Chains A and B, each alone.
Chain A
Amino acid sequence: MDVRLDALGVDIGSRSVEVVGLAGGEVVVSLKAPTAFDPAGQCARLLEGLAAGRTTATGYGRDLFVRTFGAEARLGVVATVTEIQAYARGAAHLFPEAHSVLDIGGQDTKAVVLAPKGRVLRFEMNDRCAAGTGKFLEFMATALQVPLTEFGAFALRGRRGLKVNSMCTVFAESEAVSLMGAGERPEDIALALHLAMVERLSGMLRRNACAAPLVFAGGVARNPCAVALVSEWLGTPAVVPADPDAVGALGAALCALQAAEMRA
Chain B
Amino acid sequence: MSETTYHEMWEKLNLDLPAHDALLAVLGKFYGDIYMSQQGRLKGMEYLDFVLSEVHGLRIKELQEAKAAGRKVVGAFCVFVPEELTLAANCVQVGLCAGAEAGTELAETLVPRNTCALIKSFIGFKLARICPYIESCDLIVGETTCDGKKKAYEAFSEIAPVYVMEVPQCKSDADRALWRSEIVKYKARIEELTGEAITADKLGQAIRLVNAKRRALNRLAALRAADPAPISGRDALLINQVSFYDDPVRFTTSVNALCDQMEERIAAREGVAAKGTPRLLLSGCPMAVPNWKLPFVVEGSGAVIVGEESCIGTRNTRDLVDETAETLDDMLEALTDRYLKIDCACFTPNAERQDNIIALARDLKADGVIHYALQFCQPYTHEAFKVEKALTRDGLPMLAIETDYGMQDVGQLKTRVEAFVEMLKA
Q: Which residues on A are within 8 Å of B, measured CB to CB?
A: 60, 81-85, 108, 115, 119-123, 125, 127-128
Contacts and interface: CB of A to CB of B under 8 A. Distances in A.
B408 interface: yes
Nearest to B403: A128
Q: Is the interface of B mostly helix, strand, loop or mixed?
A: helix
Contacts of B412: 108, 125, 128
A89 to B, nearest CB: 10
A82 B426 contact: no
B415 A120 contact: no
Contacts of B415: 60, 82-84, 108, 125
B419 A85 contact: yes
Nearest to A120: B423
A121 B422 CA distance: 11
Interface of B: 397, 402, 408-409, 411-412, 415-416, 418-419, 422-423, 426
A87 B411 CA distance: 18
A121 B416 CA distance: 14
15 contacts: A82-B415, A82-B422, A83-B415, A84-B415, A84-B419, A84-B422, A84-B423, A85-B422, A120-B419, A120-B422, A120-B423, A121-B423, A123-B419, A125-B415, A125-B419
B418 A120 contact: no
B408 A128 contact: yes
Given A119-B426, A120-B426, A127-B402, A82 B408 contact: no
A253 B108 CA distance: 48
Contact of B419 (A60, A82, A115, A128): A82
A84 B402 CA distance: 19
B296 to A, nearest CB: 15
A247 B154 CA distance: 54
Contacts of A119: 423, 426
A187 to B, nearest CB: 34
Contacts of B402: 127
Contact of A123 (B408, B423, B426): B423
Contact of A81 (B397, B409, B411, B422): B422
Which of B402, B411, B416, B422 gathers most chain A CB within 10 Å?
A: B422
Given A81-B422, A85-B422, A120-B422, A125 B416 contact: yes
Nearest to B301: A82
A218 to B, nearest CB: 14
B328 to A, nearest CB: 51
A83 B418 CA distance: 10
B224 to A, nearest CB: 26
B74 to A, nearest CB: 38
Contacts of A82: 415, 418-419, 422
A132 B397 CA distance: 26
A123 B415 CA distance: 12
Contacts of B423: 84-85, 119-123
B411 A60 contact: yes
Contacts of B426: 115, 119-120
Contact of A128 (B397, B409, B418, B422): B409
B424 to A, nearest CB: 10
Nearest to B415: A82
Contacts of A121: 423
A171 to B, nearest CB: 15
Contacts of B418: 82
A60 B415 CA distance: 8
Given A60-B415, A82-B419, 11 more contacts: A60-B411, A82-B422, A83-B419, A84-B422, A84-B423, A85-B423, A120-B422, A122-B397, A125-B415, A125-B416, A125-B419
